[in-house]
Amino acid sequence: SQQGEEDPQALSIQEGENATMNCSYKTSINNLQWYRQNSGRGLVHLILIRSNEREKHSGRLRVTLDTSKKSSSLLITASRAADTASYFCANSGGSNYKLTFGKGTLLTVNP
């Protein structure tokens, strides 16, 4: 399986704190993407980082990529209760066509 792994599986924090989630993958990649899933809903794209990039920002999101360690991290700053969701990383696994998803991190932000 080319499925990646998110770490931790679950994370509970207080509103205003930062949340960091990590993702490891197994094969070479063209890009790595992060998605969010609210309970009972489909996934929504958050951010994409290319294999030749090391860091990318979008609003309160910061993504890093370390291709030598085959790992990525997603940082959500100043978290809000509305950030409560599952977060998934997805990688192309060297394919031009497929996206392979990890098992996700369940983030709970307590008001």
Partner 1 sequence: NAGVTQTPKFQVLKTGQSMTLQCAQDMNHEYMSWYRQDPGMGLRLIHYSVGAGITDQGEVPNGYNVSRSTTEDFPLRLLSAAPSQTSVYFCASRPAGLYNEQFFGPGTRLTVL
94 sits in the region (left: phi over 0; alpha: psi -120 to 50; else beta) called: left
Q: How far apart are CB 85 and partner 1 at their closest, in Å?
A: 13
Told to check if 45 binds partner 1 by CB under 8 A, we report yes
Q: How far apart are CB 99 and partner 1 at their closest, in Å?
A: 6
Rg of the chain (C-alpha set)? 13
- What is the length of the chain? 111
Exactly one of 87, 92, 107, 109 binds partner 1 (CB under 8 A); that residue is: 92
Binding mask 2-21 toward partner 1 (x if CB under 8 A, else -) reads xx------------------
Told to check if 103 binds partner 1 by CB under 8 A, we report yes
Backbone angles phi, psi at 79, to 5 degrees: -60, 155
- Smallest CA-to-CA distance from 7 within 65, 71, 63 is with 71
In this structure, the number of other CB atoms found within 10 A of the CB of residue 70 comes to: 17
Binding site for partner 1 (CB under 8 A): 1-3, 30-31, 33, 35, 40-45, 48, 50, 88, 90, 92, 96-104
